[in-house]
Amino acid sequence: MSKHYDFICIGTGGAGNTAAFRLARDGKKVLICDYKHFGGTCAISGCDPKKVMITAAEFTDFQSRVMSKGVISEPATPSWKAMMAHKREFTDNHSDKLKYKYAKAGIDYLDGKASFTGEKSLKIGDDEFTFDMAFVGTGSTPLKLPFEGFEHVCTNECFLNLDALPNRILFIGGGYISVEFANIASAFGAEVTIVQVDTRLVPEFDNDIVDVLTESLLEKGVILKTGARVDSITRSGDGYKVFIRTRDGVVTRDVDLVVHGAGRVANLDGLGLENANIETSRRGIIVNEFMQTTNESVYAGGDCTDTEGYMLSPIAFMEGYIAAGNMLEGNKRTANYNNIGTVMFNVPSISSVGYTEKRAKEIGLDFRVNFQRTDHWFTSFRTMEKFSAYKVLIDNKTNQILGVHLIGPHADDVINVFVVAMNQGMTIYDLKKTIYAYPTASSDIIHMLG
């Protein structure tokens, strides 16, 4: 006998949880399930634990800057074991805390992998269920890379749960994951190499800001191999030999660990979507503007869909909330992907919202650019940070901001002021006449606007 629910949510990450709690708040009978730790990638093996570990990188980086001025003479040595234990204080009980919240909200939960058996039915393990509506929020998974020896590669889950940090680490890919993890590994004394197919790191960010980022990595001793790709990986003693194809031919590096940071794809394996008449594209589950799939009884959100923009937790939260509202009240709400801020936790952080200069030129916008390195500004001087800069794109007709790109102290927070300003249609004059607390990083905004 199958059991019936008003709503079933598959996946307990940002999208699935947001949808489930919204649906339960309306008094509906809701079931949520997951086959991994409850909480999703962001909370268990992504954004949150990564940022905990980045704290150590920020400390060691600041320590080196202070030492360069003679303020301290003896460096402290960070402990990977102790920092990992601190991280686990957050991740190890997160699932139990979430299950407590489910129970309190009246949401049933079940450990197991879901697979659709029909348009309004599915199985979780050996248990069968029917539903009025379902939501899919299964997130993303590392892209399978087409080279020999891929089975030797460590994923984000593996890296963020290492009991000990190897001495020599190679990261495949030059995006968010690799750059952030490279900062962490380097801070704890590992020899770090990044292999990137593109000629630049994180190509989605502004070129001038990435140039400053690249300088910061090189000063840390990170070895960058751009315009290159991994051809194969073989075992070599207790470690690995990585064969890298560069513009000058194939070179090798002997390392103790190879980490996959070369992209993620929608996590759809085993869902039986075809049984529910749910269509997919190369990017993920196809949804309309209301987050509804090709099966009108099933909605989806987060990294598992083919919606536009980055794979970002706030986007997953938004899509889960919008989908739940439409599941309850009919298709009325749509997602707004305009001017969503993003941060990459390099040390120092880089952040962005809106158009890059390259993209603005490509689509023919009429704008001016304010760009400057700011190592001589007080905010950077105070923290002895020499890798800082900003770029602001301003519409020549309206004086509204088209894009902002930052690197330096507190770039991860200052960007949110620009996110609000751009979404509210504020002009540079609105921002310039605002009185900011001083001296703060946000008070630098008026000097970025010309």
List pLDDT tens digits, range 390-434.
999 999 999 999 999 999 999 999 999 999 999 999 999 999 999
Q: Tokens representing 172?
A: 């495949």
Q: Residue 246: CB partners within 8 Å, gap ≥ 6?
A: 225, 227, 228
Q: Tokens representing 304?
A: 């598992």
Q: Tokens representing 88?
A: 């686990």
Q: Tokens representing 13?
A: 């990450």
Q: Residue 199: CB partners within 8 Å, gap ≥ 6?
A: 226, 227
Q: 200: closest CA among 169, 175, 171?
A: 175
Burial of 146 per CB tally in 10 Å (0-12, 13-18, 19+): exposed
pLDDT at position 2: 87
Q: Tokens representing 219?
A: 């000063």
Q: Which residue's entry shows tokens 């009240």?
A: 329
φ, ψ for residue 322 (rounded to 5)?
-65, -45
Q: Residue 92: CB partners within 8 Å, gap ≥ 6?
A: none
Whole-number Å distance between alpha carbons of 92 and 102? 17
Q: Tokens representing 209?
A: 């800001």
Give CA angle at 230 (148, 44), nearest 5°.
90
Q: Tokens representing 256?
A: 């103790």
Q: Tokens representing 255?
A: 């390392």
Whole-number Å distance between alpha carbons of 442 and 430? 14
> Exposed e or buried b for every residue in 150-183, given b needs 16+ CB within 10 A?
eeebbbbbebbbbeebbebbbbbbbbbbbbbbbb
Whole-number Å distance between alpha carbons of 275 and 268? 13
3-state helix, strand, coil in the chain (%, to 5): 35, 30, 40
- DSSP for 154-192, written as a single string: B-HHHHTT-SS--SEEEEE-SSHHHHHHHHHHHHTT-EE
pLDDT at position 197: 97
Q: What is the DSSP letter of 347?
A: S
pLDDT beneath 50, residues of the chain: none
Where do the DSSP E strands lie in 2-83? 3-10, 30-34
Whole-number Å distance between alpha carbons of 7 and 132? 6
Q: Which residue's entry shows tokens 């390195």?
A: 373
Whole-number Å distance between alpha carbons of 25 and 7? 12
- Give Cα separations from 437 to 148, 338, 413, 440 (angstroms): 56, 28, 14, 6
Report the predicted TM-score, pTM, of the whole model to 2 decimal places: 0.94
Rg, C-alpha atoms of the chain: 23
pLDDT at position 308: 77
Whole-number Å distance between alpha carbons of 169 and 362? 38
CA atoms 429, 355, 50, 269: torsion sign: positive
- DSSP for 245-314, written as a single string: EETTEEEEEEESEEEE-S-EEE--TT--GGGGT--B-SSSB---TTSB-SSTTEEE-GGGB--SS---HH
Q: 195: closest CA among 178, 216, 172?
A: 172
